[in-house]
Amino acid sequence: MFSDIFFHQTVTYTRTEQEIIDFICKNPGVFLTASISQLAERLGISDASLSRLAKHAGYPDYKGLKAAVTGALSGAGPAQKLQGSLQNRKEGGLYAFLSQQQVCLQKTLELIDRAAFEQAAGLIASAHRIFLHGKGASCCLAQLLHFRLNRFGKDVFLMPSGGTELFEDLNRLSDRDLVICFGFQKLPREDSVLLSHARQIGCKSILFSSRVYAAETSKANISLLIYRGEPEEYHSMTAPMAVIDALIVQVAAAMGDKAVEPLERLHALKQEYYRELPG
């Protein structure tokens, strides 16, 4: 992962450095082809800020950081090709939007840690109870997970999006449970409290995020990085939904018959009462 370039040692980065790290991890091709001055102008910072980041991350200079990114990028590049073809197209509307979603999916595939994905599926499969927290547009992701996991017979709970009611569920958490949060552009204060409390009591946690720095420095046990577009672009739920669907399939595989049996009982109930409750 590109984030390993910046987090191979314990470092606390400034807010500006966090923004640079997120840009590099999401746009490595742009980083490698732009000069230090061009990149500084694009990000609205000074050349010195980029040089300081390189040294702060443990590299002798800016060239050393570029060399590390080049090494991490070897063999990659489909997202940049897709982005280029999108920019060269004059068609707008549906074609352009769906093409952009291809870019988001490809970049997500490059950003996400496969081992973390497998671990997340294992945690969900083995958790005693699962508490989901989604705020704003992320509510739909929490609801999708709730629907799918409930069908596997898991004890799943949708937590209030905010307010003092959230403390009621916080008080119920135990070290046998699992908390799943969504914090894409920034981590909501509620999720920060949830993850902090979960860590204190030994409750496992999973965070879905779009910010490399936030994911690496959060108190979540597992962070899954998802690319939803640049800051100034419309952020759809295509990539997060795809990752959740893939995660559900992986959880089903991990649970085996334990996931199949509740589905079979559900089907039997529908067959038994289809006349009373058709549709």
> What is the full DSSP assignment across 86-135?
HHH----HHHHHHHHHHHHHHHHHHHS-HHHHHHHHHHHHH-SEEEEE--
Written as one letter, the residue type at 85 is: S
Quick check: 54 pLDDT over 80?
yes
pLDDT of residue 231: 64
pLDDT more than 90, % of the chain: 51
Burial of 150 (0-12, 13-18, 19+ CB in 10 A): middle
pLDDT of residue 139: 94
Tell me which range, 5-9, 10-14, 130-134, is most confidently predicted by mean pLDDT: 130-134
CA distances from 236 to 26, 105, 160, 181, 240 (A): 16, 11, 23, 18, 9
Residue with tokens 């965070």: 207
Quick check: 95 pLDDT over 80?
yes
User: Which of 6-20, 23-37, 193-207, 244-258 is the least confident region?
Assistant: 6-20
Quick check: 75 pLDDT over 60?
no
End-to-end CA distance of the chain: 47
Alpha carbon 90 to its chain's center: 31
